[in-house]
């Protein structure tokens, strides 16, 4: 699984970072999120990433299960 935050949709609600701080980092200046992990999400973090996807109020996070490099 890969994960991507759409910068056009993210509004800085910060729930993803609360749920999975090892995967999502927040910008110091506006609090908007980006995925730290560029490639495959480690298996032990997949459940947290799924919860972040489900919890995002703007639905800005997309997992790419099929898009393996």
Partner 1 sequence: MTDDDRKKNRYEFARHAPEYRDQFQQITTEMVSKCPVAWSDTYGGHWVASGHKEVFELARSAEYLSNDHDVKGERRGYKGISIPTPDGDFQGGFLEMDPPGQRHYRQALNPYLSPAAVARWQPVVDELVRASLNEKIETGRIDFVDDLANIVPAVLTLAMLGIPLKNWDIYVEPVHASVYTPPDSPDIERVRQSQMAMYQDLFGHFMQIKANPRPGMIDALARATINGTTPDDMELIGVLALIIGGGFDTTTALTAHALEWLSEHPSERDRLSRERDTLLDSATEEFLRFYTPAPGDGRTISADCEIAGASFKEGERLWLSWAMSNRDPAVFPNPHEIDLARTGNRHHSFGLGLHRCIGSNVARMVFKRMLLAVLDRMPDFVCDPAGAVHYETIGVIQGMQHLPATFTPGPRIGDGLEETVARMQVVCDEQRLAEPVTVRKGTAQVES
Binding residues (CB under 8 A) for partner 1: these are: 11-15, 17-19, 26-31, 51, 54-59
Q: Which helix (H) or strand (E) holds 15?
A: helix 15-19
Strands 61-64 and 24-26: unpaired
What is the closest distance, in whole angstroms, from the C-beta atom of residue 59 to partner 1 in the complex? Answer: 8
How many Cα atoms occupy the beta-carbon half-sphere of 34 within 13 Å?
Answer: 6
Name which of 34 and 59 has its Cβ closer to partner 1: 59
Name which of 41 and 61 has its Cβ closer to partner 1: 61
What is the closest distance, in whole angstroms, from the C-beta atom of residue 68 to partner 1 in the complex? Answer: 26
Closest CA to 56 of 25, 27, 18: 18
Name which of 6 and 40 has its Cβ closer to partner 1: 6
């Amino acid at each position: 699984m890969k994960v991507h935050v759409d910068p056009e949709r993210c509004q800085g609600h910060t729930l993803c970072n609360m749920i999975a701080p090892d995967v999502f980092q927040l910008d110091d200046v506006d609090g908007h999120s980006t995925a730290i992990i560029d490639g495959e999400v480690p298996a032990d973090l997949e459940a947290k990433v799924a919860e972040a996807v489900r919890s995002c109020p703007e639905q800005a996070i997309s997992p790419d299960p099929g898009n393996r490099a």
